[in-house]
Structure 1
């Protein structure tokens, strides 16, 4: 049960307003042309790097090794070379190869579609697992990364200290129809407007309802 102190005071209308406004500003990205396996590998590569680097590394990897079997059999040094642009490439290459082998050996080459099974894979936490559910299976889930966690607290949707708590609260207060677009839209919002440092208040459509902005204005 979510503690009441962790919840904000937003109405469903205000939550809908946030999603609607974000969809006016940003084009929601989808990965429907990618298999759940490709989404899983892309999400592993995305950890601690920028989207453009992730995209380039993912494209390079799958331009050479097109299937799970090929990735599992590939030399880890070659994988690392291909995904170098994503950063931390030696660690990520090892995880990609290990995950591919586990999927083949223990899951008959099928990416699991539950968070409980996904987080058993090395290097896969709740955020990565939820990304796979949303972008790989179009399942209702809420991936909470640094952007979603930061923005949800700044706006006052939640009052939490950890991303896991943010996910728990958002799952309770947000109608399911808003779950799928939330992560992608908030990530773009966090990269371009609600930045970690020097948020662009003049470009933000939420200043009238933003807890952080209004607390700063009152000082």
Structure 2
């Protein structure tokens, strides 16, 4: 267990050096916006959600406004995210609950968040960690996959993955770890054909060899700012430019 913990923490440190800019990839200015955006992100990409939320929050800036929204209008605003009828019902219902039970504010306790419509542990931990600074491990499909590849867990159940990984790290590391691992999963350690030969933590990974090991071929598999030809974007991200600044400069942030 001690060796596993040391290796896990070294991987986290190395991912921190690789992605010092790793934060939640959903745009938000407050806990309510992040909560709604995370619910909308189910079965779609953060990029697509980020394209929808500016108009959504301009029209419905808080829980009270969203609770009173016309559902047909709301559906049209979020249609590009998919499953828009169910999502509209969820975010309208959770907004109503926030107004009725929390004076329109988002609670900062996991046990309260998970009672809201459309909110599970993953969404709750995203909000707690990134909006409130309360440590939480976000087990999405990327985090679960990489945790198994790294040997941190063998579990498929997200709650068990969360429990197993929590034993390896200090609580203060849970949120940044979650963001770094998700970044790595989206950019390097893909579900199919991971770019093993271009992976910064390959020497520490017991699953090395599941994907392409030739360095040149592996580089072609990298995505987002690590993709070939996007060196300038990567440099600006390393220099701590925000997504808003990068978009304003004309950079596309898609894969």
TM-score above 0.5? yes
Are positions 1:21 and 2:8 aligned together? no
Are positions 1:129 and 2:124 aligned together? yes
Indicate the residue corresponding to 2:143 in structure 1.
148
Instruction: Give the whole-Å Cα distance in 2 for the aligned partners of 1:32 and 1:198.
Output: 29
Q: 1:32 to 1:178 in 2, by over 3 A?
A: farther
Tell me the secondary structure at the aligned position of residue 120 of structure 1: coil
Shift of 1:33: 6.1
Tell me the secondary structure at the aligned position of residue 11 of structure 1: helix
Tell me the secondary structure at the aligned position of residue 105 of structure 1: helix
Shift of 1:107: 1.7
Q: Deviation digits for residues 142-176 of structure 1, max 9, x if unmatched? A: 11111111000011112212111110111122112
Instruction: Give the whole-Å Cα distance in 2 for the aligned partners of 1:81 and 1:32.
Output: 20
Instruction: Give the whole-Å Cα distance in 2 for the aligned partners of 1:32 and 1:92.
Output: 18
Q: When the two structures are superposed, what TM-score results if normalisation uses the length of structure 1?
A: 0.88
Instruction: Give the whole-Å Cα distance in 1 for the aligned partners of 2:92 and 2:145.
Output: 32
| RMSD between superposed Cα atoms in Å | 2.2
Q: Contact between 1:32 and 1:136, CA under 8 Å: does it hold in 2? A: no
Shift of 1:19: 2.0
Runs of 4+ off more than 4 Å: 30-33, 214-217
Instruction: Give the whole-Å Cα distance in 2 for the aligned partners of 1:120 and 1:197.
Output: 34
Instruction: Give the whole-Å Cα distance in 2 for the aligned partners of 1:133 and 1:39.
Output: 10
Shift of 1:53: 0.5
Instruction: Give the whole-Å Cα distance in 2 for the aligned partners of 1:215 and 1:196.
Output: 10
Tell me the secondary structure at the aligned position of residue 83 of structure 1: helix
Are positions 1:44 and 2:60 aligned together? no
Shift of 1:21: 2.1
Q: Which moved more, 1:65-74 or 1:139-148?
A: 65-74
Indicate the residue corresponding to 1:3 in structure 2.
none
Instruction: Give the whole-Å Cα distance in 2 for the aligned partners of 1:64 and 1:145.
Output: 29
Aligned residues: 210
Q: 1:216 to 1:108 in 2, by over 3 A?
A: closer
Shift of 1:180: 1.6
Tell me the secondary structure at the aligned position of residue 107 of structure 2: coil
Q: Deviation digits for residues 179-215 of structure 1, max 9, x if unmatched? A: 1211211111111110111111111112222122268
Q: Which structure 1 residue ranges, 5 or more long, are not aligned?
A: 1-6
Instruction: Give the whole-Å Cα distance in 1 for the aligned partners of 2:118 and 2:171.
Output: 27
Q: Deviation digits for residues 114-169 of structure 1, max 9, x if unmatched? A: 11111111111110111110112110111111111100001111221211111011
